[in-house]
Amino acid sequence: MNRKSPYPAALVCLLSFALAIPFDAFALPDATGQRAGEVSRVIPAVSLIRGAKSLNANAKTPVDWQDVLNTQANGRARVSLDDGSVLNVGSDSSVKVVKHDAGAQQTDLEVTVGKIRSQAQKISQPNGKFEVHTPSGVAGVVGTDFFVGYENNVMTVIVFDGQVKVCNLAGLCVAVKAGQITTVRNSDSNGPAAPSQANLSTLSEAVASTTLEPPRTLGRSITSAKAQQSLSALSPSSRSSSFRSSPLAVLAPPLHLP
């Protein structure tokens, strides 16, 4: 009497079981749950999206990799990242903390709409980076203070201190120095606009739209006639290097924690 081997049937069962398991089950664990920092100050209302959950963000709310901060019309948020960098998120904004590895100094942020001011710690690690992405392009720094806005398919970058490399999605880049501004339009193959000196009203608006400080202090700085005269007096070649030491620097005081 011939007996059929049980092995072919067992192999078929094993293959069927393997095919029934989703492919991503074998993938490496995702980055969710890894701490990036915490919310240090809010002007309600601010929500934090973590996976399928929506949380009300308050001071001391932890911020993890892949978390999304959404601010409403009157809401703003300050986030303290674990490497000492600080983010100010303006109203009507959505910012995703894709990654923040404090030890490796690797930070990736995504701004899908709205405005953010970042004060990044100086990068000293060989493969370190601090990048802010929008649908139009990316701004990368090695340690500086800068503003990124994305509205109406246009990315705007203003630098308060240091230097920022701004690129479109095709990889065409410009270097933006302190006191300068550039823009990048969606699907523009010509690359970012040539950096130019930002005027006082543009600088003022960038600061005012992301500050969490009392407006009366900011108002005195913005309306300072001396600051305007200082900007006008600087030659184009000296404006960038003199920006932080001039009276105009009061427009963009360093971000700080309460």
Question: Same domain for 221 and 119?
Answer: no
Indicate whether 67 and 188 sit together in one domain: yes
Is residue 233 left, alpha or beta, with left meaning phi > 0 and alpha meaning psi from -120 to 50? alpha
- Phi and psi for 245 in degrees, rounded to 5? -95, -5
Q: Is residue 2 part of a domain?
A: no
Contact 67, 49 (CB under 8 A): yes
Which residue's entry shows tokens 């720094």? 141
Q: Are residues 121 and 212 in the same domain?
A: no
Do 189 and 75 share a domain, yes or no?
Answer: yes
Instruction: Determine the structural domain holding residue 213 and report its residue range.
Output: 203-251
Q: Are 194 and 231 members of one domain?
A: no
pLDDT of residue 242: 41
Over residues 88-108, the pLDDT tens digits come to: 999 999 999 999 999 999 999
Quote the percentage of the chain above a pLDDT of 70. 70
What is the average pLDDT across 122-141? Answer: 94
Q: Is the per-residue pLDDT at 17 higher than 70?
A: no
The pLDDT, as a whole number, for residue 233 is: 41
Q: What DSSP string runs through 83-146?
A: TS-EEEE-SS-EEEEEEEETTTTEEEEEEEEEEEEEEPPPP-STT-EEEEE-SSEEEEESS-EE
- The CA distances from residue 34 to 29, 39, 104, 108, in Å, are 11, 15, 14, 14
Confirm whether 23 is domain-assigned: no
Q: Tell me the per-residue pLDDT of 166-217, one tens digit each, with 9 for 90 and over.
A: 999 999 999 999 999 999 999 888 999 999 999 999 999 999 999 987 654 4
Does the pLDDT value for residue 5 go beyond 90? no
Tell me what the pLDDT averaged over the chain comes to.
80
pLDDT at 109: 98
29 domain residue, yes or no: no
0.85 surpassed by pTM:
no
Does residue 7 form part of some domain?
Answer: no
Question: Are 86 and 188 in a shared domain?
Answer: yes
The distance from CA 79 to its chain's CA centroid, rounded to whole angstroms, is 11
Poorest-pLDDT segment among 3-12, 23-32, 122-131, 164-173 = 23-32
Same domain, 225 and 170: no
Bridge partner list, 80:
38, 86
> What percent of the chain has pLDDT above 90?
65
In a domain, 233, yes or no: yes
User: Could you tell me if residue 68 is inside a domain?
Assistant: yes
**One domain, residues 193 and 212:** no
Do 77 and 110 have their domain in common?
A: yes
Q: Residue 13 domain-assigned?
A: no
Whether 21 is in a domain gets the answer: no
For 240, the enclosing helix (H) or strand (E) is: helix 236-242
Nearest to 69 by CA among 97, 90, 48: 48
Q: Where are the beta strands (DSSP E) in the chain?
A: 35-43, 46-50, 53-56, 62-64, 67-71, 76-81, 86-89, 94-101, 106-119, 129-133, 137-141, 145-151, 154-161, 163-168, 173-177, 180-185, 196-197
Per the structure, the count of domains in the chain is: 2
Q: Please report which confidence band the pLDDT of residue 86 belongs to, taking 50, 70 and 90 as the band edges.
A: very high
The domain that holds 129 is classified in CATH as 2.60.120.1440
**Same structural domain for residues 215 and 194?**
no
